[in-house]
Chains A and B, each alone.
Chain A
Amino acid sequence: MSCYYRQYEDTTVTIPKYSVESSAGITYYDIKVRVGNVDWFVERRYRDFAQLHDKLVEDISISKKLLPPKKLVGNKQPAFLEQRREQLETYLQELLIYFRNELPRTLAEFLDFNKYDIIYLLQDLAKLFHESGDALLSAKKEYSFSALEIYAISERLTLPCPPSNEQGGKFDFSHVLDFSTQLESLVVTPVKDNATFVQDYNTVDVPIGRSNIIPNRLSFNLNAFRNVRTLKFSALSTENIVDIELLKPTLQTICVHNTTITHINQVLLCDNLHKNCDVPSLLPDPAASNSEDALLNTDAWNELTELDLTGNLLTQIDGSVRTAPKLRRLILEQNRIRTIQNLAELPHLQLLSLSGNLIADCVDWHLCMGNLVTLKLAQNKIKSISGLRKLLSLVNLDLSCNLIEELDEVDNVANLPLLETLCLTGNPLAGSVDYRPRVLARFHERAAEISLDNEPGTQQELDTALVLSALLKSKQRQQNK
């Protein structure tokens, strides 16, 4: 992202070429703006130049003769257009020398500085929040920023550039900060209002507009958002955050979707350089001295209760989840996880969703999680659920679209005392004759309390289940003898 305020001496404007649109016969001049390492292109026709010039003459009274004059006849000839390209280039260069370190808004907008430059982009944002910030906040305490905007805010805080009071102060940076400090839910995407970015995370290296700015390479801090409770990143890695320390004590929900992150530590330890070191246990340890406790707590997410990392490339649940000891909901849908680890130190965990992963076995899961209420394992590769037989607190279990074949597998969860909903649809077993009554029969006298595949058993099914259950019991008794 460009910073004209700092680099106006290293700024050039050129018009490398023009192009004639054949159908309408309009000539466009392709303007290249370069500020330091950042450059971008803007397409403008002569009419736009004339409009800009009129405004500048009116507002700032620059010389009227500066712009090359209009030509009515023969204005399509290549030689003429080439000459005009040169003249317009000179015109822009003269304007830039004339205005030096502060561009007037009209010129900044003409050259798209308000799309790519820190100061001018924030002026746009300030104007928006000045006019409708309060309305936005009262309607919904959530707002979506582009990576570029977040970067601009974070950089702007270190610029020795005073808030401007120009034009009644509507471009004043304090409006932006005023808004951001009140925001409760912050959404960050690579580009604003662009649905394709959210869909496809291979586009993360695509530059913004016609510039060479790549959203995924902008690093920023979130110090301006000190009251945020919910943080949502979409198609943008949280590793772009260089400092999140201020938000750690208060943040309650983190959602990261559609990125290429492979480890949870890229989220929970996003500003930590030593991600791969083993994270020490954060559970209260009576043996530990007080000073050590305080040290650990500064790294902890003490209020974080929900972590939603749906749609990434996670391969495992790494030790960094221990930094969020109060986690209640952990949603890891649509990833590439094969096994669960490190959940033993999350005593508050109530919901775990691992739908759409690559889990094939679940061995003794009751040793890892004690208080789980809802477990979602849809669309995995599970054949046997014997490892779930002692998850005694479980109320809701979703096993749809797995590879369970044997009816006997149901016995593993049939004796869970609190179970109320069970989903088995999409498994090979669900295709068998009398599937529903036969599954319900396994619950014996609790059959009526169970909702199977989102509906409770009908009277007919329950009657059949009762008969089957009696048969099963007598069979068992015989075996015991």
Chain B
Amino acid sequence: MDVKLHKMRGVVNKLYERIDYLIENCPNMTAAPYNYNYIFKYIIIGDMGVGKSCLLHQFTEKKFMANCPHTIGVEFGTRIIEVDDKKIKLQIWDTAGQERFRAVTRSYYRGAAGALMVYDITRRSTYNHLSSWLTDTRNLTNPSTVIFLIGNKSDLESTREVTYEEAKEFADENGLMFLEASAMTGQNVEEAFLETARKIYQNIQEGRLDLNASESGVQHRPSQPSRPSLSSEATHAKDQCSC
């Protein structure tokens, strides 16, 4: 039954895309001026000082932010990426790690399509707290939320306290995606954000994620009408259009 439902949803989601495509290429219909097809909502969580804001900054600005101040409440960043020729806008909520902001942090879990859970490979305590972060995430997000575990500060090999193998095992046990990354050098930062998006996109394609549910963390938008193209496919689409 579930499998059938998923298949149906996958078909419906693909239909949406087809409709978009037609709207885009149909000269008589005006589409809303969006330059992306989807919005994915992300949340970044983890203990204080593990480098959540720095990861976000590295991802959005491609720069390392030294002397990053403590986050107060939440911060926000966006970037448009491309998965499978689809433009996806990531809306990333970067939360405060400090205990006193836990209520604020918790209120942002709802409706996240992706959760990046960060620990610091040079501080074992931040790794030990992962299970409590994971419980929060599982309780407050929906089942289709993609959780990605990031071991940050991989450039500080000499002071490492958590081995890759240990964390990998934890990730596998809990069904999380996992990478070690460095906000300072930028290593694996892109990969972590992009892999999450790919996984979410895959979930949409396979119908595991209901686009119409308000809490899915994904919004679908028809993209901007593209410049008239002369490719055979585009003209073909025009022929089919009845308007």
Does B144 touch A at the CB level, under 8 Å?
Answer: no
A162 near B219 (CB under 8 angstroms)? no
A224 near B76 (CB under 8 angstroms)? yes
Q: Give A207 to B106 CA distance when docked, in angstroms.
A: 35
B104 near A160 (CB under 8 angstroms)? yes
Does B16 touch A at the CB level, under 8 Å?
Answer: no
Contacting chain B: which of A35-43, A174-182, A357-365?
A174-182
CB distance from A150 to the nearest CB of B (A): 15
Does A169 touch B at the CB level, under 8 Å?
Answer: yes
Contact with A along B73-114 (1 / 0, CB 8 A): 111111000000000000101000000010110111011000
Q: Is the interface of A mostly helix, strand, loop or mixed?
A: loop
Residues in chain B near residue A169, CB distance under 8 A: 214, 219
Taking A157-B75, A160-B103, A165-B214 as contacts, is the C-beta distance between A174 and B91 under 8 angstroms?
Answer: yes
B76 near A160 (CB under 8 angstroms)? no
Residues in chain B near residue A224, CB distance under 8 A: 75-76
CB distance from B110 to the nearest CB of A (A): 5
CB distance from A22 to the nearest CB of B (A): 50
Q: Give A138 to B32 CA distance when docked, in angstroms.
A: 14
Contacting chain A: which of B2-10, B33-41, B150-158, B177-185?
B33-41
Does B241 touch A at the CB level, under 8 Å?
Answer: no
Taking A160-B106, A174-B41, A246-B69 as contacts, is the C-beta distance between A134 and B74 under 8 angstroms?
Answer: no
User: Which parts of B194-226 form the interface with A (CB within 8 Å)?
Assistant: 214-215, 219
Q: Give A226 to B53 CA distance when docked, in angstroms.
A: 12
Does B135 touch A at the CB level, under 8 Å?
Answer: no
Q: Give A17 to B78 CA distance when docked, in angstroms.
A: 49
CB distance from A153 to the nearest CB of B (A): 10
Does A289 touch B at the CB level, under 8 Å?
Answer: no
Q: Give A195 to B51 CA distance when docked, in angstroms.
A: 44
Residues in chain A near residue B76, CB distance under 8 A: 157, 174, 177-178, 181, 224
Taking A157-B73, A178-B91 as contacts, is the C-beta distance between A134 and B33 under 8 angstroms?
Answer: yes
Q: Which of B33, B103, B104 contacts A135 (CB 8 A)?
A: B33
Write the chain B residue with the least CB distance to A221.
B72
CB distance from A132 to the nearest CB of B (A): 10
Residues in chain A near residue B108, CB distance under 8 A: 162-163
Residues of B in contact, count (CB < 8 Å): 26
Residues in chain A near residue B103, CB distance under 8 A: 160
Q: Give A158 to B77 CA distance when docked, in angstroms.
A: 16
Taking A157-B74, A162-B111, A181-B78 as contacts, is the C-beta distance between A245 and B104 under 8 angstroms?
Answer: no
CB distance from A453 to the nearest CB of B (A): 48
B214 near A182 (CB under 8 angstroms)? no
Q: Which of B33, B34, B75, B219 contacts A223 (CB 8 A)?
A: B75
Residues of A in contact, count (CB < 8 Å): 25
Does A161 touch B at the CB level, under 8 Å?
Answer: yes
Residues in chain A near residue B214, CB distance under 8 A: 165, 169
Q: Give A135 to B35 CA distance when docked, in angstroms.
A: 11
Q: Give A157 to B53 CA distance when docked, in angstroms.
A: 15
Taking A160-B103, A165-B214 as contacts, is the C-beta distance between A178 and B73 under 8 angstroms?
Answer: no
Does A281 touch B at the CB level, under 8 Å?
Answer: no
CB distance from B87 to the nearest CB of A (A): 13
Q: Give A181 to B76 CA distance when docked, in angstroms.
A: 8
Q: Give A454 to B78 CA distance when docked, in angstroms.
A: 49
Residues in chain B near residue A174, CB distance under 8 A: 41, 76, 91, 93
Does B242 touch A at the CB level, under 8 Å?
Answer: no
Does A159 touch B at the CB level, under 8 Å?
Answer: yes
Q: Which of A134, A135, A178, A245 contacts B69 (CB 8 A)?
A: A245
Residues in chain B near residue A342, CB distance under 8 A: none
Write the chain A residue with the least CB distance to B214.
A165
Taking A169-B214, A174-B91, A298-B67 as contacts, is the C-beta distance between A157 and B72 under 8 angstroms?
Answer: yes
CB distance from B140 to the nearest CB of A (A): 10
Residues in chain A near residue B104, CB distance under 8 A: 158-160
CB distance from A1 to the nearest CB of B (A): 16
Q: Give A298 to B69 CA distance when docked, in angstroms.
A: 11
Write the chain B residue with the least CB distance to A134.
B33
Write the chain A residue with the least CB distance to B104.
A160
Residues in chain B near residue A158, CB distance under 8 A: 72-74, 101, 104
Residues in chain B near residue A165, CB distance under 8 A: 111, 214-215
Q: Which of A138, A159, A178 contacts B78 (CB 8 A)?
A: A178
Closest 4 CB pairs of A and B: A158-B73, A160-B103, A177-B76, A165-B214
- 6 contacting pairs across A/B (C-beta < 8 A): A158-B101, A161-B107, A174-B41, A181-B78, A221-B72, A223-B72
Task: For the A-B complex with A158-B104, A177-B76, A177-B91 known, give 16 more contacts whose Cβ atoms are closer than 8 Å.
Answer: A134-B34, A157-B72, A158-B101, A159-B107, A162-B107, A162-B111, A165-B215, A169-B214, A169-B219, A174-B91, A174-B93, A178-B76, A181-B77, A182-B78, A223-B75, A243-B69
